[in-house]
Amino acid sequence: MAPAPQFRVAELFAGVGGFRLGLKKAGWTVVWSNQWEPSTKAQHASDCYVEHFGEDRHVCDDIAKVVQGPQSESILDHELLVGGFPCQDYSVAKPLAQAAGIQGKKGVLWWSIYDMLALKRPPFVLLENVDRLLKSPATQRGRDFAIILSCLAQLGYVAEWRVVNAADYGFPQRRRRVFLYAHRLDHCGYQWKPMTRLYVDGVMAKALPVSKAGIKSVLEAEAALPQEPDIELDANPYVVSETFGIGLKTSPFANAGVMIEGRVWTRVVTPIYRGKKQTLGDVVGRTEHVPESYFVSGDRVDTWAYQKGPKSEPRIDKKTGHEYFYSEGGMAFPDPLDRPARTILTGEGGTSASRFKHIIADPKTGRLRRLIPEELEELNGFPRGWTDTGMSDGRRAFMMGNALVVGVVERIGRAIKKEAEACLLQKATDNAREAATDT
């Protein structure tokens, strides 16, 4: 009798547990996790994670040291590796060595993901980042993302990505993030056709449908003849680091794409969603009590209005003394309750007036106020009170600025699980066929 299938997850850069919450709802089990904030003694995110999930197989230490040191033996085998890692400079520090692999800049977390993939060889990978990753750095547009795709190809993975605005799929926050899914080539084989994968049967297409208007002829042609790639990446990530994107004013990577053995197909896709759409007002309407400190006093309203309003004025650089002209457009003030919220940023907390913090007219009193931590949590799909684990309200807001939308992870996690189940079925079929041939 075949062993029961396992759907185990290792979670890197776990934060306060958004990936874990979404994947649990999708049928996955996290068996190992890591969260560590450098340059600070207090580990608020890790403490919050442990408060909810326990400390068994949770490591609060520098992931680079963990993966490359004795602690790597504590990392359990897993089918899916996940992580939301910071957008940094991913340039390769030196060429490939015959046995040593690649070396990136110190302190850059992508290389810890690379080391983890090389060490544990999970069949599936799901990563999340800000959409800026697709076009950074400014001097070589798209280079950083190209390096990541090149590394995945070198390690034997095919991949697909999608820039997702959570509000496009009914969630109450306009939060844009790029999700990158990778599948190990030798796990159960693959028959990916790039355009079909991108629009019809890929993990992203199934989890987060897009419009297929105008592509019928492309899909029909692809059934007979493979589409030519838009980009061909060098097999050496060092070469990609040195050459990709030089002279480009815009990134060649669109908001969706597929990578197969270093060949890349990329398109601009349009989300399709016909379900109920949640708004900021839906979330705020569930709030029963707001502390007085969150309301804006009458003498501070003008300051908030200035921060939110349009500006066209001379200013002086404090460092150089140089006078320059500053201008920016206005923002809605207060934030409308009949639409999804703007993106929560890490600076959302605190009482000081800010252009980027949310200000609403409280539906019960009509008074202007900031959003409370519980509302920020719900806007990301966390249960209310999730971060109430001993940290300040400002720190709780910071955590939500760093978090992801749980429901988006759940949808993608379900699609990956179905792909994993299909792989298991294919393996069982192939094994049965081989057994029958042997007899």
Nearest to 157 by CA among 130, 210, 120: 120
- For 8-274+405-436, CATH number? 3.40.50.150
What would the pLDDT profile of 204-227 be if each residue is shown by its tens digit?
A: 999 999 999 999 999 999 988 888
The confidence score (pLDDT) of residue 108 equals 72
pLDDT of residue 321: 85
Domain residue ranges of the chain, discontinuous segments joined by +:
8-274+405-436, 280-391
- Is residue 104 pLDDT above 60, yes or no? no
- Reported as a single tens digit per residue, the pLDDT across 350-385 is 999 999 999 999 999 999 999 999 999 999 999 999
> What is the arithmetic mean of pLDDT over 220-245?
91
Confidence check: pLDDT of 427 > 60: yes
Residue 107 has pLDDT above 60, yes or no: no
Q: Is 48 noted as a catalytic residue in this protein?
A: no
Q: Is the pLDDT of residue 93 over 70?
A: no
Q: At what angle do helices 143-154 and 110-120 cross, to 10 degrees?
A: 10
Q: Which of 87, 151, 188, 423 is catalytic?
A: 87
Q: Given this model, what pLDDT does residue 101 score? A: 40
Q: Quick one: pLDDT at residue 429?
A: 72
- Model confidence at 99, in pLDDT bands (50, 70, 90)? very low
Q: Residue 179 in contact with residue 404, Cβ under 8 Å?
A: no
Report yes or no: 25 and 31 within 8 Å, Cβ to Cβ: no
pLDDT tens profile 317-332: 888 888 888 888 999 9
Which SS3 state, helix, strand or coil, does residue 198 take? helix
pLDDT digit string, tens, across residues 283-298: 999 999 999 999 999 9
DSSP 359: E
CA distance 434 to 430: 6
Q: Residue 110 is which amino acid?
A: W
Confidence of residue 163 (pLDDT cuts 50, 70, 90): very high
User: What is the model's pLDDT at position 33?
Assistant: 97
Contact 67, 34 (CB under 8 A): no
- What is the residue-averaged pLDDT of the chain? 91
**Range with the poorest average pLDDT among 27-41, 111-125, 318-332:** 318-332
For the residues 142-146, what does the mean pLDDT come to? Answer: 92
Please compute the mean of the pLDDT values over residues 96-112 and round it to a whole number.
Answer: 54
